[in-house]
């Protein structure tokens, strides 16, 4: 690879001037900001456009596994250092290496059956989570001031010649050499990349569940849940479940109720209001302690979406990253981590680009490095969600089998060698650039001969 790198560097620097590409990121969520941090660390200028007036804290609890923390290190070691200062672990020592404790949602949490604990984790795993607001504050501090342009809602992304144009809702147009879509599960860049070739993949698929969510002060959670507060717990039942875990360095508890719903979602993209009675009816049969958490939940039903099929993460000079590429359900706590892995790989590849015409090679190498793994996370997360509401084909309502399954299904996510992915992606990038350069040389010589 070093000889290829030297040859490419010599050819590009001698035979044509270097030109730093202009790059825009659509979306200032975790994926978009992570990419911006990685590029800033590598002295690549970028502009981030965000439709909202400020950073969004929807989905307040963020769980991050070992692979996510490794990705932070590769994006920028300071990112990891600052995250470590605000992260939240499980409270009790016996749960230090537990992703969650699997329990029954019924009255007594399974004690009447003789079930008292179902730990999912690994000796090398340490539970780590954060409030989305705390994480975004850290990320904002690591990018140059003025990088993010709020109140900038894009309505179209189009290729015009060798440029990419972003049309905004206010009528303005901005032109860049490349655009990276980090614009969420229903982002417009997905249409740009997939609309012509695989239009059936553009829209996300409904996951057959909606959720109720909220945050409760830890002291109140302990009043309600007793010893079960302060550590990650997953209470399961037929067709429904709730996960609770600490955030904000133990000052708060995040909770999410999952309710299976086979019906189509007829309410557009957004959450819909409901009543407290609706929520209680959905969760009939749950222990009263769990139902008391609903006092801290807004009466809203949130649909869940994912992208089980995405045949490419780029087209020309438009690339997809994070949820717009591979949105997944939260049942493996892997979604944010996949966005961080994306950012680690893509920021490195873009830093190698010496001229705009090399951007497609970077995007192609990124697609090869990331798509198979990220799409597998989407599919296995959906499968895990079914297992944890007792709809798993081989596990059903057998908690012992569920725990055994959970303790085997996550290692390939947590122990992945992202550095090896980056090395391989770099090799592929240089191979593609050399190939492109050789083709240009042949074409140029052919024209000279004809002339």
Instruction: Give the active site residues.
Output: 213, 245
Give the contacts of 233 (CB within 8 A, at least 6 positions apart).
100, 101, 103, 225, 243, 244, 245
Three-class secondary structure of residue 79 per DSSP:
helix
Strands in 23-26's sheet, in edge-to-edge order, are 148-149, 47-49, 23-26, 178-181, 318-320, 314-315
Give the contacts of 157 (CB within 8 A, at least 6 positions apart).
26, 164, 165, 166, 167, 179, 181, 188, 189, 192, 318
Three-class secondary structure of residue 176 per DSSP:
strand
**Contact in structure between 259 and 212 (CB atoms under 8 Å):** yes
Count how many Cα atoms sit within 13 Å of the Cα of residue 120 in the half-sphere of its side chain. 28
**Contact in structure between 179 and 164 (CB atoms under 8 Å):** yes
**226 torsion bin: left (phi>0), alpha (psi -120 to 50), beta (else):** left
Strands in 163-168's sheet, in edge-to-edge order, are 154-160, 163-168, 173-176
Three-class secondary structure of residue 307 per DSSP:
coil
Distances (CA, A) of 185 to 43, 123, 279, 392, 433: 29, 34, 26, 25, 31
- Distance separating alpha carbons of residues 50 and 34, to the nearest angstrom: 14
* DSSP string of 401-421, one letter each residue: HHHHHHHHHSHHHHT--HHHH
- Cβ burial, residue 448 (10 Å; 0-12/13-18/19+): exposed
E strands present in 293-397: 300-306, 314-315, 318-320
C-alpha torsion angle, residues 72, 78, 80, 85 (rounded to 10) = -160
User: DSSP code of 68?
Assistant: H
């Amino acid at each position: 690879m070093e000889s290829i790198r030297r040859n490419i560097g010599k050819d590009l620097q001698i035979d044509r001037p270097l030109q730093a590409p202009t790059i825009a990121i659509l979306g200032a969520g975790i994926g978009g900001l992570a990419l911006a941090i990685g590029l800033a660390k590598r002295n690549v200028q970028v502009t981030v456009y965000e439709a909202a007036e400020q950073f969004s804290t929807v989905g307040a609890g963020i769980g991050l596994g070992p692979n996510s923390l490794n990705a932070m290190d590769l994006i920028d070691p300071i990112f990891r250092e600052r995250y470590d200062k605000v992260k939240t672990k499980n409270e009790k020592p016996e749960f230090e290496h537990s992703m969650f404790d699997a329990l029954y949602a019924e009255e007594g949490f399974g004690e009447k059956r003789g079930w008292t604990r179902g730990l999912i984790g690994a000796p090398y795993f340490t539970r780590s989570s954060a409030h989305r607001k705390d994480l975004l504050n850290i990320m904002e501090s690591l990018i140059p001031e003025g990088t993010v342009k709020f109140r900038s809602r894009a309505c179209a992304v189009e290729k015009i010649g060798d440029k990419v144009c972003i049309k905004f809702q206010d009528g303005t147009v901005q032109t860049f050499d490349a655009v990276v879509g980090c614009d969420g599960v229903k982002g417009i860049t997905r249409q740009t990349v997939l609309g012509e070739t695989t239009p059936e993949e553009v829209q996300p698929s409904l996951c057959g569940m909606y959720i109720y969510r909220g945050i409760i002060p830890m002291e109140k959670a302990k009043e309600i849940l007793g010893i079960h507060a302060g550590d990650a717990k997953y209470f399961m039942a037929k067709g429904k479940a709730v996960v609770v875990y600490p955030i904000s360095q133990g000052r708060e508890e995040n909770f999410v109720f999952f309710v299976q719903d086979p019906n189509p979602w007829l309410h557009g993209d957004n959450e819909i209001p409901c009543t407290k009675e609706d929520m209680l009816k959905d969760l009939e049969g749950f222990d009263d302690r769990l139902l008391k958490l609903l006092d801290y939940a807004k009466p809203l039903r949130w649909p869940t979406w994912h992208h089980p099929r995405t045949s490419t993460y780029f087209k020309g000079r438009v690339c997809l990253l994070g949820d717009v590429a591979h949105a997944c359900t939260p049942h493996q706590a892997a979604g944010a981590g996949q966005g961080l892995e994306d950012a680690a790989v893509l920021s490195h590849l873009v830093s190698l680009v010496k001229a705009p015409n090399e951007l497609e090679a970077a995007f192609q190498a990124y697609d090869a490095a990331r798509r198979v793994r990220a799409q597998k996370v989407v599919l296995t997360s959906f499968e895990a969600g079914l297992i944890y509401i007792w709809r798993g084909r081989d596990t059903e309502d057998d908690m012992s089998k569920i725990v055994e399954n959970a303790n085997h299904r996550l290692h390939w996510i947590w122990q992945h060698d992202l550095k090896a992915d980056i090395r391989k992606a770099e090799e592929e990038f240089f191979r593609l650039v050399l190939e492109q350069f050789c083709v240009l040389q042949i074409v140029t010589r052919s024209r000279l001969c004809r002339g």
